[in-house]
């Protein structure tokens, strides 16, 4: 961290033990304001679900045929990789 405590990078470090078949959710909110009370608000889960639904709809429109769940996952990963490659090429 810079001496004046300003910058654009963060590196949180969490050590979690997650057993086989279990899952853990870590919520983070980056802000430059001091928060009082609940950092995520009562509508956080709904907003997150809405964004997931929007992403699902976006990828559904890109996929011309009906795929099974596993195939949909591979397709989405492929699109994400394709976009990542565009970013890499734009940055070079």
Domain positions in the chain are 44-91
| pLDDT at position 1 | 57
| pLDDT at position 17 | 93
CA 17 and chain centroid, separation: 21
Burial label, 79 (beta-carbon count in 10 A; 0-12, 13-18, 19+): middle
pLDDT tens for the chain, 92 residues: list them.
Answer: 567 777 777 778 889 999 999 998 888 777 777 777 777 777 888 888 898 899 888 888 888 788 888 888 888 888 877 655 444 444 43
Cα radius of gyration (the chain): 19
């Amino acid at each position: 961290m810079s001496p004046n405590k300003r910058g654009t990078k963060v590196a949180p470090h969490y050590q979690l033990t997650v057993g086989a078949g279990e899952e853990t959710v870590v919520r983070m909110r980056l802000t430059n304001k001091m928060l009082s009370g609940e950092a995520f608000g009562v509508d956080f889960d709904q907003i997150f679900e809405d964004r997931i639904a929007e992403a699902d709809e976006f990828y559904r429109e890109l996929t011309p045929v009906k795929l099974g769940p596993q195939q949909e996952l591979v397709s989405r990963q492929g699109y994400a990789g394709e976009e990542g490659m565009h970013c890499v090429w734009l940055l070079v």
